Structure 1
Amino acid sequence: MLSVVVPCYNEEEMIKIFYNAVENVEFPLEKEYIFIDDGSYDNTLRELRSLSLKTNNVKYLSFSRNFGKEAALFAGLKESIGDYVVVMDVDLQDPPELLTDMYSYIVKEEYDCVGTRRTTRNGEPAIRTFFAKSFYKVMSMISETEIVDGARDYRMMSRQMVNSILEVTEYNRFSKGIFSWVGYKTKYLEYENLERAAGNTTWSFWSLLKYSVDGIIAFSDAPLSIASFVGLFSFIISILLSIIIAIRTIVFDNPTPGWTSIMVIVLALGGLQLLCLGILGKYVSKTFMETKRRPLYFIKEKNDKTTINE
């Protein structure tokens, strides 16, 4: 069986469109669909109820509130029972026709995972494209975990790999990093960017920026090292300037002029200190959230109408 894990947030227009599109793909295995309603405030849950009543291969989970895509992915993987599991976005920007190729590579060439990556970002705002490419470049430089440029969450995995991912129970999750960190033999299929089939994206520039910062912090301690080097460099510069000023005063018997320059230096050093404290605080806050051991999500409703704490 193939389990299709589909996180949804305000996607009422896409539920039936997505289901029909994937069902129309010829696939050698039986499929089960696991839709995760991530606290939607539109009619997403109503559409999922309706679809589950009309079909016998659709499951759905509905969260008590919006817990984020990472929690939805984890919940879907945990609920899946298939020998193979594929993660897909409901907006059909993940081409369903690639499913057959994914399965073929896993079965015939013994890959544990077949992922996808976009070769173009046509249709996206230029600023989002710039920051996305910059993120992948930065991650490749500062992290030991490889994150492929343009990689999507859309990937098919073996049951063994999924079980390994489920053992990573950290609260601050960054799935692209976790998929890579657990290892296993992986191949990437390339395709050009596709527009949404319907509806509007709920990902804003700022939410994507925050998500990228979380990814950097989750899989690299380089920002802490950078903060330390900046502090050390600033200290050395301040010592050198102090020596130069002292020598000039002794040799030329000239009081130190330039209150403006002094204030600029003070403010610059103060800004660097606050920046370094902010970086340190970000890591401390993530550690604090991990120690609380809060659940990743709460399920308000499932197909069988049970309520469960996960």
Structure 2
Amino acid sequence: MPALSLVVPCYNEADNLVELHEQACAAASTLGVDVEFLLVDDGSSDDTLAVARRLAGTDPRVRVVRLSRNFGKEAAMLAGLRHARGEAVAILDGDLQHPPELLVPMYTMLVSTDVEQVVARRDRTDDPLVRSLLSRLYYRLVNGLIESVRIQDGVGDFRVLSRRVVDAVLELQERNRFSKGLFSWVGFPTGTVSYRNVKRGAGRSGWTLRSLLNYGIDGALAFNSRPLRLLMHLGGWAAMAAVGYLAVLLVGYLVNGVTVPGYITTIAVITGLSGIQLLAVGVMGEYIGRIYQEVKARPAYLVHEVIESPGHEDD
């Protein structure tokens, strides 16, 4: 059994894998421990699989898990964790934005202290002001909604986990996975290593504004039912406002007699209540859709093949 498994979800990272492998090998040499490299090809459309095959053919420590199609990063991470054999498991992106050299202090902290997972926290020194403000606003909003966990700003999926934490995460069988929350939910003592933001290597990020928005919604809904409760409160306040407005109209009728109803007011009330209703239906639909996915119990991913070096020996 290797001391450390490096799980790398890969989607169109052909131009970065060789450099990532070299940097990770340097980090492994510094650590002086047995390491396995687990590259998870998440249905890439470029030469990622071919590059990963070549690496597996030249380095017996490299294993490649090829998924049958693109299932998304969450599924790729789950596949990597399930196939990892190490006593400790590190997760890092394949785009070089997670510096492999940081594995040295992270793994050292894991084995030399009583922590069970070590996370890398990225500072936002070089981020654009608008992006930094939006990020802080999002984390404040999400942490205000989530009931059972707390998500730290700047902490992503780059982390080193003990085997105990990996096994605990793998026991969570939900299909709609939000790993940032899951790693926090399982608990265990956690250490933090800070680092400066690193620009992506070659290629373009697969994260679009739409996918980031959907990911943010997943985070907001994954660990709480407060949006439903907020809608209930909103409905209650709307009902109270309607009763208050009715009382104002009644007083006006008693004082001034019959008056012509306000057209603009009527349209505003109808539009406002319709918006609240559509919002309520949308939020409930999100929860119902997640229930639907869980009930179907489809696997999070399907493996097409596992590629190993001919000289690789199973433990």
- Normalising by structure 2, what TM-score? 0.93
Q: Residue 129 of structure 1: CA displacement?
A: 3.5
Q: Does 1:292 align with 2:296?
A: yes
Aligned partners of 1:131 and 1:9: how far apart in 2? 26
Corresponding residue of 2:91 = 87
Q: Residue 156 of structure 1: CA displacement?
A: 0.5
Corresponding residue of 2:19 = 17
Q: Does 1:181 align with 2:208?
A: no
Q: Does 1:6 align with 2:12?
A: no
Pick from 129, 141, 155 the counterpart of residue 159 of structure 2: 155
Q: Which amino acid aligns with 2:139?
A: Y
Q: Does 1:68 align with 2:85?
A: no
Corresponding residue of 2:264 = 260
SS state at 1:24 partner: helix
Q: Does 1:243 align with 2:247?
A: yes
SS state at 1:20 partner: helix
Aligned partners of 1:211 and 1:48: how far apart in 2? 27
Aligned partners of 1:170 and 1:113: how far apart in 2? 21
Corresponding residue of 1:141 = 144
Pick from 45, 52, 55 the counterpart of residue 51 of structure 1: 55
Native 8 Å contact 2:6 2:36 kept in 1: yes
C-alpha RMSD over aligned residues: 1.5
Q: Residue 132 of structure 1: CA displacement?
A: 2.3
Aligned partners of 1:274 and 1:68: how far apart in 2? 29
**Larger displacement relative to structure 2 (190-199 or 82-91):** 190-199
Q: Residue 126 of structure 1: CA displacement?
A: 5.2
Unaligned runs of 5+ in 2: 310-315
Aligned residues: 304
Native 8 Å contact 1:245 1:256 kept in 2: no
Q: Which amino acid aligns with 2:11?
A: Y
Q: Which amino acid aligns with 1:102?
A: M
Q: Which amino acid aligns with 1:141?
A: G
Q: Residue 256 of structure 1: CA displacement?
A: 4.0
Q: Which amino acid aligns with 1:95?
A: P
Corresponding residue of 1:31 = 35
- Relative contact order: is structure 1 or structure 2 higher (C-alpha 8 Å, sep ≥ 6)? 2
Q: Alpha carbons of 1:99 and 1:304: their partners in 2 closer, same or farther (altered >3 Å)? A: closer
For each residue in 1:251-286, what CA deviation from the matched residue of structure 2 results, as whole angstroms up to 9, or x when unmatched? 211324311211111111111111011111111111
**Larger displacement relative to structure 2 (72-81 or 218-227):** 218-227
Q: Residue 147 of structure 1: CA displacement?
A: 0.7
Unaligned runs of 5+ in 1: 306-310
